Amino acid sequence: MSDRNPGTEFDASWFENIYINLPAVKRRAETLGTRRTVKKQWQAAWLLRAVSCIDLTTLSGDDTPANVSRLCFKAKHPVREDIIKALGMENENITVGAVCVYPNRVPDCVNAMKACNGTEIPIASVATGFPTGQVPLKTRLEEIKLAVEDGATEIDIVINRNYALNQNWKGVYEEVRMMREACGKAHLKTILATGELGSMTNVYKASLACMMAGADFIKTSTGKEGVNATFPVALVMVRAIREYYQRTGHKVGFKPAGGIRSAKDACTWLILMKEELGDDWLSPHLFRLGASSLLIDIERQLFHYVYGRYAATHEIPMS
């Protein structure tokens, strides 16, 4: 993870005169999807980089110690050994960026990580009444503290959408500030739930409020809203990250989440980060992809890359 973002005093002037040129943002987003392709010889490297940035997620009502344990094993061994060997990467320790679960499942992650020896992978817990946040502040803060006590090293909170929709940026700031305090040493990711914020201007202002309050990452969505991670929203958020960096010198990370399922999209997200913020934002310290099923497609593409598309789909061993 990046060096902690200490945040700043609340400054209302940051929220004045913000104008988002939506047609221009949309045009820029379209160029990301259509005009950039990763050269063949670089494809595997880009895909492995995407793997290292995944927050491998399970956030379901029917999560159990068993499926969380499988998730943790997969987090430590995200790509099949023969594929890694064929790529000449057997000496690299390739893992995902973190696992991401509900607070009740954090102890299961701790146990599962102990059971498979080797690298410790960060355990991220959603908290604060995820996904809606519609519980009292005292409960939301307590939930963070319990998750950290249980072993979470990263906390993904949801912001107060009521405050955001009512332009109460000081309210958003003060709650996030308290949440950061409750996190202690754990890193803080703030989920904006952009699909519920009503406008791109609100997305930009919510991003600023969270970073001012000390968010280490800003994250698009819970994955449970009607609209989740989109490229136009991401462009608005990363430009807020750039403004915050220019004003304070602190680098804040970015996590798109929700509906990211294809290897091609994963590469496009990396290209967006490279072009908008630069190479520092191409590592798990400053970039995460929140996803529950993206890894399956990346592994499939790596398989095709190593063995060829024909072998991958048609060949069967005869003995």
Strand stretches in 185-319, DSSP E: 187-191, 217-219, 253-255, 289-291
Catalytic pick from 219, 224, 251, 264? Answer: 219
The smaller minimum CB distance to ligand G3H, of residues 225 and 250, is found at 225
Give the shortest CB-60-to-ligand G3H separation in angstroms: 9
Report residue 241 as tokens. Answer: 């990250």
Strand stretches in 144-265, DSSP E: 154-158, 187-191, 217-219, 253-255
Give the shortest CB-289-to-ligand G3H separation in angstroms: 9
Give the shortest CB-8-to-ligand G3H separation in angstroms: 27
The smaller minimum CB distance to ligand G3H, of residues 223 and 232, is found at 223
Angstrom distances, CA of residue 229 to CA of 105, 201, 288, 314: 25, 16, 12, 35
Task: Clarify whether 224 is annotated catalytic.
Answer: no
Residue with the shortest CB distance to ligand G3H? 223
Give the shortest CB-58-to-ligand G3H separation in angstroms: 8
Per residue, the 3-state secondary structure of 141-164, as one string, reads HHHHHHHHHHCCCEEEEECCHHHH
The smaller minimum CB distance to ligand G3H, of residues 202 and 220, is found at 220
Report residue 94 as tokens. Answer: 């390739």
Residues near ligand G3H (CB under 6 A): 57, 59, 100, 222-223, 257-260, 290-293
The smaller minimum CB distance to ligand G3H, of residues 253 and 258, is found at 258
Task: Clarify whether 219 is annotated catalytic.
Answer: yes
The residue behind tokens 């355990």 is 123
Residues marked active site are found at 219, 255
